[in-house]
Structure 1
Amino acid sequence: MTPSRVIGYVRLSRESADSTSIVRQRQIIQSTADSRGWDLVDVVEDIDVSASKRRLDRPGLSRVRAMIAGEEVEAVLVWKLDRLARSVVDFGTLLDEGINVVSCTEPLDTTSAMGRAMAEVLQVFAVLEARTIGDRLRSSIAYRVGQGDRWRGGPTPYGYRSVRHESGDGKTLEIDPSEAAYIRQAAEIVLAGGSLYSAMQAIREAGSKPRRAEAWSISSLRVVLTGDSALGRQSRHGVPIRDEAGVLVAPWEPILTVEESERLRAILAPRPLTETRRKASRLLSGLLVCETCGSRLRVNSRRTAGAQVESYGCRANGDGRVCERPASVNADQVETFLVDEFLAVVGALPVVERREVIRDVAGIAEVEEAIRHVTDSMREPGADLGALVAQLGTLTESRDALASRPAEPTIEVVESGETYAERWARSGVDERRAVLESVLTGPVPVKAIGRGYRRMDAERVAAPWAWLDEAAADFVDPYWTD
C-alpha cells in the first residue's frame, strides 16, 4: 500500500535553549513528504517527553493513533524510529494497531512486509542503546558515591553548592554561606519555641528563596530542616549512606548538628490525625483572682450587639461557694493594661538567656543514632541477625568509650540581640504567660466595681510586680524559656 495522506510526528526528551532538533525534524519530514508526493496533513509534537518513561502515554502520539484509527491519514512519518518508540513491546503494539510507519533517515517503510521486518530489527538496537545509556549512568553514579566525598549528581541540596573536586575527578559539595545562614536562622527560631510558619516568614523577609519555587512553603521548609542533607549526608535511592559499622557517612561539612536535627524532627513531626488540639487559653488565664473571695477568675463569653465579648469573672457563687462582691473585668482591657505596665518597665531591656549546656563528646550522637538504626533493622523480616548483633556490639563499645569521657555541664549567658518588647511581639500566648508569671510575686487581685464603671487602673487591678516588692532586693530579669 502506498500512502497518500500522512501525518508527521516529532519528539524531544529534553528541550534546551540551544536545541534545534525539533526544527530539524520538521524540515526533514516536510522534505521527505514533498519528495514522495505525499500530502502532509500535520506535524504533531511531543516536547520534553521521554519515550522510555511515558511509553505510549504521550499527548502527541495519542493524537496520531486516533487520526490513523479514524482513517484521516494512512501512515506516520518520523525522523527516526526511536522518536516514535524505544520499546520493542511498544512498537509491536503500534504495529498491531495497524499503524504504518515511515522513517525519513532509515530504510524503514512498514507499508511493505520487508519494511515491517526491518523495523523490528532496528527497534531491538534502539532498546539496546537505551539500556546501555542507563547502565552507564547508574555505573557512574555508583562510582561517585563509592568515592565517599564525590557528589552523585542531580539537584544540589539547599544550603550547598556543587564544585570541582580537588582531585579533578568529579564534583563535591561545599556550604553555600548565604543559604546555610537561612537554614540556621529558621532552625534557631523553631528550636527557640517559634512556629515553623514564623521561621518561614522570617527567612522570606530576609530574602531567601528555595531553588525551584518562587517562595518558601511550610512543607518545603520542613523538608530542609528535617532532612539528611543539612547534616552533610549523601543518600542513594532515598536512603542515607552508612559505613561498614553502620554509622551514617557525612562527607561534607554539616549545616546543623545531629542534636539540632533530632530536636527539629521531634518538634516538626506531623501531628497524628487522632490527636486533638488543646483549646487556646487567654493570656491571664490562672493569674487573676477575685479580691473579695480569692477565687481564680475564669473566662466567660457572651454576645453583645452582634459581637462576641470575653471577660474574666468570679464563678464562686455558681460553684456553690459564697462571694458577696464577685469581680468581673473585660478580658481585652485588663490584658492590655497589664502588658503595658510590664513593657513600660522591662520592654527596652535586652533579653539575656541563661542556659545549662552539657558539652557533647564529639561523635557520640552519631554512634547512638547508628545503634537505633541497627536495633530497628533487627525487627525487619529476613534480617541477618548474626551480622547485626556483631555490628551492635562494636557500636556499643564505641559509645561506652565516648561516654566515659568527662562532659561537665556549664551555664552559658547568651545575648539574644532582642529587647523584651521585640521578643514579646513574636511570642505565643503560653510563652507570654510564663514570662508574666516569672515577674509576679503572686496572683493578681481584681476588685469588684459598680455597674457602669469602666476605668482600668492600678486601684482596680493591683499587679504584685516583683520590682514593687521591697523584699525582692535581688530582682532577676524575666526568664524566657527556650
Structure 2
Amino acid sequence: MAKKQRCYIYTRVSTELQIDGYSLEAQKERLRSEAKHRKMQVCGEYSDEGKSGKNIAGRPEFKKMLSDIKSGKDDVDYVLVFKLSRFGRNAADTLNSLQFMEDYGVNLLCVEDGIDSAGAAGKLIISVLASVAEIERSNISEQTMAGRQQKARDGKWNGGFAPYGYKLVDKEGEKAKVLVINEEEAELVRLIYKLYLQGMGLSRVAKWLNDNGYIKKIRQNGSVSFISSAFVKGVLDNPVYGGFIAYGRRKNEKIDGTRDEYHVVKQDKDSYKLYEGQHDAIIDRETWFRVQAKRELNAFKREKTHSKEHEHMVSALLKCPVCGASMYGVVNRKKKKNSDEFYTDMWYYTCKNRKLVSGHLCNYKKHVRQDELNAEVIALVKYVFGGENDMKDQILKKLDSDDSVKELLEEKTRLEKEKNSLVSKKTKQLRRINDLDIDDEFYDDLMKTYKDGLYEINEQIAVIDNNLYQNELAIQNAQGENLSVEVYKRIIDEMIDNIDDMTDADKKMLMNLLIEKIEIYPEKQKDGRWIKSVQFKIPLNIDGKAVDTLYFDDEEDDTEGDENSLPLSKNVETVCLLHRANM
C-alpha cells in the first residue's frame, strides 16, 4: 500500500481585502479541498495576513514553515499554495525558497495555476511565473505611487501619520481622512517659526523651548517629549505648515550590494513638487516663505574667518565619559577690550548631547582643552608606534610571519573534498529511493529509512556550505589584512617622526587611520592625564598576543603592573601603565 502523502498549507494576503478576489478563509478552504481530493494529510497551516510578497523577511509564518521543513517536524512531501503569487512575488526569493524546500524533499503545488514543481515542466513554469509576479509587484508599486502623486495634485494628504500640529479625521464625501489643525499642537509649531525669525538658530530654539517648560506631545511617530533641534528643523522645512502638499520629498532607494533592501533618502528641494493643499495652513504663506529664505541662507557652509588651519584632531574618536556619545569641538573666542583684535582662540571638546541634538540630554558639562588632550594622544602614538620602544616593528608581527592564508586554503580544500563525498552519497540515496517498488511490503519502512538518511546528508551539506562561506570570508579578510599591514607600515614610517610638523588636517587623518576610539576620565587626573583607554584599528603584538585596546592605570592603582603591562616613556608628562584589554 502506497504511503499517504503529507502536506503543509500556506496562505497570504497583502491587505485585509484579498487583491485577487479571494479572502484568506476562501484560500484555506480551497487548499483543504484540494488536499482532500489528492488524499493528502494536512499537517500544518501557515498564514501571513497583511504581509507583502516582496521578500520573505517580513513573513514570519512563511519563515516558520521553512524552519519546520528543515527540521523534518512533520516529514511533509508538499506545500500547497493558492497561486504562485501567494508564495512570493520576488523571483529570486521564490526560486531560492523552492530550492530550499526541494533540498529537503518537499515540492510545491500551486492549486489555481495547476503547477507541480515535482516535474521538470513545473520548475520551468515556476521560474517564468515568478519573474512575471515580480514585474506585477513592480507595476503595483508604480500604480500606488502614481495614485499618491495624483492625490498630491488634488491637494489631499497622501498617506502616513499626520504631521505634528495636525490630526486626521473622517470627512463626509471623502474616502480618505483629511488633515485638520490640532490646536493643542499647533501652538508649538507657531512658536517655533516665531522664535526662528527672531534670530535664533535651530539648537537655540530647542533649548529655549525646553528651558521654558514646553514639551512635545507624545504620539505614534514621536516617543520623546524633549524638543530636539532635529524636530525644530523638521517643522521649519515641512511645506505642509504653509498650506502645501509635497510629493517626492523622500524616495526609496535600493541599498547597493543588496537584492531587495531599500532605505529612505531625503531629496533636495529642487527635486520635489509642491501642490496647493486643501487643508488649512498653520503658518501664513508670507511667514513660511520668509523662513524658507532664511533656511536657504543658513544652509550655505560658512568660510572660516579665524584659525583657518585648525582642525578638531580627535573629535570623531573621542567618547563622552557619561553617555558614550561622540564629542565635538567648540571654541572660546574673545575680543580684546577697545580693539578689533582677538585673543588667541581656546579650543575645547564637549559632548554633543548637551545640545539635545537627538532629544536626549547629557549632564556632562566639562569642556576638555584640546591642546592638552591632543598632546597626550600624540605622545601616546609616538610611544606606541615609534621612538625608543619602536613597537611599529611588532605590529601584526605574528600575522605577518605565520601561514594563516595557507592554512585557510588547505581548510577550503578539505571542506570541498568532504562536500563532494556527501554529494555523491546523496546521489546514491536518491537512486535507492527512485528504485523502490511501491508494491513492496516494506516500501513504507524503506522509504522512511532512506528519507531519514537523505535528511541527515542534507544537514551535513548545509553545515559544510556554511563553513565554506565562513572560510572564504576569512581568506578574503586575511589577504586584506596583509595588504593593510604594508600600507600602515609605510604610513607610520613616513609620518610618525614628522607628526609635530604636520598640519592639523594631516594629524586628524593620521589619527583616524590608526585609532578607533578614545575614552577619557570624567575629570582630569591629579597628574594631568585625561585618557583612560585607546582602541586602535590595527592590533599590536604584545607578548605574542594581538591586542587592540590599551588602558591607562587609574592613578589610585599602586600596583607595579603585571607581565602584560607596558610602561610609558618619560617624555609623556606622567608615568603610567598600559594594560592589555580583555579580549
| TM-score (ref. length: structure 2) | 0.37
Greater gyration radius: 1
Could you say which structure has the higher helix fraction? Answer: 2
